[in-house]
Amino acid sequence: MKVMGMILLAGVLASVALADNVRPAALQGVGIDQRLNEQVPLDLAFRDETGKSVKLSDYSGNKPIILALVYYQCPMLCTLTLNGLVRAMRMLSFDAGQQYSVVTVSFDPREAPALAAAKKSRYIGDYRRAGAADGWHFLTGDEASIRSLTQAVGFHYKFDPQSGQYAHATGLVILTPQGRIARYFYGVEFSPRDLRLALVQASANKIGSPVDEVLLFCFHYDPLTGKYSLVITRVIQLAGACTVLVMGAFIGLMVWRERGTRLRT
C-alpha cells in the first residue's frame, strides 16, 4: 500500500508540472502570484454596497483583513469561493467585525453597488452572527482602482469580450492590520484551523511562508465552438490523473498478488 501511495503521489506531482505547460491560450498569464510582505495601496477609492465612496484604509488599522477578489456575476467559482469562505468563518471562534474584517472586492468595473448589496445580504444571512454587517464589506470600483489592487496582490485575470466573462483563479489574501500581504489561500475550500492561524499571525504583523499553488481556473466554455468556457480546474486534471493512476496501481497489485500465489503453489 505504501508503494501504491508513492506511485500515486509521483503521478499527481507530474500532472501538476504538466498542467503548467498545457494551459489553453485563454489561461496564459492567469493566476495568483504570492507577494508576501508587499504593501497594498490603502488609498484606493471604491464604493461600498450602499454606493458610498470608501477607501481600503477605512477597513485597516486595528484588525487583520481577509481580502476576497471575485466578481458578483461570475457563473461558478466566485460563488464557490464565497461559499467556502463563509463555511470556514462559521467554524471560527472569532467574529467578523470583532477580531478581523472581510473585504470582498469585485474586479469587474461594470458591476454596481446594487450587486454588491445583494451579495452582502446573502452572505451575512449565511454567516448568521450578530454585527457581521459591520465587519464584512462588499465593494465595487473603477478600472484604475481595481487594477492597482489586483496588481499589488498578484491577482492576474483576463476578460473575454465574446462571452462577457473573466478567466481567473480563485483564492483569498490575508492582510495585516496595516495592509501588508501576510498569507495566501488557494481554491474554494479553506481550512478553519489554517485560516484562524493566519489571522492570528497577521494580527501580530507576522508574514507567513509561500504556500503550494493548486489553482482553480474559472472560464467560459462553448461546446459549439469547442473553446473553453465554463470551468477549467487543476483539480479536474488531478482527479483524472488520480483515477488513472489508482486503476493502474490496483491492476498492478492484483497481477503481483496472482503471480505470488502461483509461485507459492
Dist CA 243 CA 21 (whole Å): 21
Dist CA 46 CA 145 (whole Å): 7
Mean pLDDT (whole number) for 230-247: 45
**Runs of H (alpha helix) within the chain:** 2-21, 77-91, 113-127, 143-153, 192-203, 234-264
Summarised one tens digit per residue, pLDDT across range 173-199 is 999 999 999 999 999 999 999 999 999
Instruction: Supply 143's cell numbers.
Output: 478600472
pLDDT of residue 255: 59
Q: Is the pLDDT of residue 239 over 50?
A: no
pLDDT of residue 236: 43
Q: Is the pLDDT of residue 245 over 70?
A: no
Q: Is the pLDDT of residue 33 over 60?
A: yes
Mean pLDDT (whole number) for 63-82: 94
Dist CA 47 CA 54 (whole Å): 6
Spans of all domains in the chain: 1-24+234-265, 25-227
* CA 152 from centre of chain: 16
Summarised one tens digit per residue, pLDDT across range 87-101 is 999 999 999 999 999
In CATH, the architecture of 25-227 is 3-Layer(aba) Sandwich (3.40)
pLDDT of residue 218: 65
Mean pLDDT (whole number) for 7-31: 53
Res. 28 pLDDT band, cuts 50 70 90 = confident
Q: Cell 493512476 maps to which residue?
A: 245
Torsion angle defined by CA atoms of residues 241, 244, 249 and 252, in that order, rounded to the nearest 10 degrees: -150
Q: Cell 497481477 maps to which residue?
A: 255
Mean pLDDT (whole number) for 127-156: 97
Q: Cell 472569532 maps to which residue?
A: 94
| Share in percent of the chain as helix, strand, coil (round to 5) | 45, 20, 35
Tell me the β-bridge partners of 167.
Answer: 158
Collect all residues with Cβ–Cβ distance below 8 Å to 183 and sequence separation of at least 6: 36, 173, 174, 198, 201, 202, 207, 208, 211
Query: What is the bridge-based pairing of β-strands 165-169 and 65-70?
Result: unpaired
Summarised one tens digit per residue, pLDDT across range 155-179 is 999 998 888 899 999 999 999 999 9
Whether residue 216 contacts residue 170, with contact meaning beta carbons closer than 8 Å, is answered with yes
